[in-house]
């Protein structure tokens, strides 16, 4: 596996953002991976997740959203965020021609990816992966953020912890059930929104990251190619 390659991605009307391409030898897929609202593409979770995915033959293209690139705290508008996702997917297709594409991300990054897909901006993407779908704010259970999922065509993998305060499983399970064969829900016991697990689980965070990667690989290997 080679070291991450730094790229620049042009976002319409917003200039350029940074990206990191990590490709294993003979990748089965390239996952375009968006970061969460409060941390950028170099966050330790994103770094370690990319390494674990590479170990199971899934390359990653991590990228910054414009507000993070500009070191602002408030996320961009959904229009800018979804345009950035689309630009990153286009850049991934150019960087790794012939490699099938997945897209998704951590929390907000995953949700903005599915919104871009619902708008028809990601025709190249064969599947979407949510590393913690942010269904609602903490202590404010609701399902409005999932309404667009009905318009998402590619298969979706939801990786969720049982202690995630941003996704009440009592709400998320019926949503996935309603989506039918397009949705796969994988639950990680005692994991929170950052996929930290309780010591009582007998597991380490590293083991959970490995599970996220291996589950993604097993799911993606079943996708039509």
Instruction: List, run by run, the mean pLDDT of 10-residue segments along the chain (225 residues).
Output: 88 95 96 96 97 98 97 96 98 96 98 98 98 97 98 98 98 98 97 96 95 98 89
What per-residue confidence (pLDDT) applies to 172?
A: 98
Where in the chain are the domains? 5-220
As a whole number of angstroms, the distance between CA 92 and CA 82 comes to 15
Q: Which CATH architecture has domain 5-220?
A: 3-Layer(aba) Sandwich (3.40)
As a whole number of angstroms, the distance between CA 129 and CA 133 comes to 9
Is residue 213 a contact partner of residue 45, using CB atoms and an 8 Å limit?
no
What per-residue confidence (pLDDT) applies to 25?
A: 92
What per-residue confidence (pLDDT) applies to 1?
A: 55
As a whole number of angstroms, the distance between CA 23 and CA 1 comes to 7
As a whole number of angstroms, the distance between CA 46 and CA 30 comes to 15
As a whole number of angstroms, the distance between CA 221 and CA 217 comes to 6
pTM: predicted TM-score of the whole model, two decimal places: 0.96
Burial of 174-205, coded b for 16+ CB within 10 Å and e otherwise, reads ebbeebeebbbbeebebbbbbbebeeeeebee
Strand order, beta sheet including 156-161: 5-11, 15-22, 58-63, 29-34, 101-106, 125-131, 156-161, 183-188
Torsion angles phi and psi, residue 73, rounded to 5: -85, -40
């Amino acid at each position: 596996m080679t070291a991450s390659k730094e790229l620049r991605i042009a976002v319409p009307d917003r200039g350029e953002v940074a990206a990191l391409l990590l490709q294993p030898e003979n990748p089965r897929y390239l996952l375009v991976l968006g970061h969460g609202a409060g941390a950028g593409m170099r966050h330790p979770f994103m770094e370690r997740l990319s390494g674990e995915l590479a170990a199971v033959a899934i390359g990653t293209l991590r990228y910054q959203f414009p507000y993070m690139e500009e070191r602002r705290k408030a996320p961009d508008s959904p229009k800018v965020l979804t345009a950035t996702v689309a630009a990153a997917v286009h850049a991934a297709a150019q960087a790794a021609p012939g490699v099938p594409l997945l897209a998704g991300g951590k929390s907000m990054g995953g949700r903005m990816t599915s919104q871009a897909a619902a708008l028809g901006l990601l025709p190249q993407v064969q599947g979407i992966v949510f590393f913690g779908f942010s269904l609602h704010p903490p202590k404010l259970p609701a399902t409005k953020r999932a309404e667009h999922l009905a318009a998402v065509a590619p298969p979706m993998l939801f990786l969720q912890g049982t202690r995630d305060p941003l996704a009440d499983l009592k709400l998320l399970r019926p949503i996935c059930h309603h989506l039918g064969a397009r949705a796969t829900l994988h639950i990680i016991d005692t994991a929170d929104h950052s996929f930290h697990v309780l010591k009582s689980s007998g597991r380490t965070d590293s083991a959970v990251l490995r599970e996220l990667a291996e589950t993604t690989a097993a799911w993606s290997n079943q996708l039509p190619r």
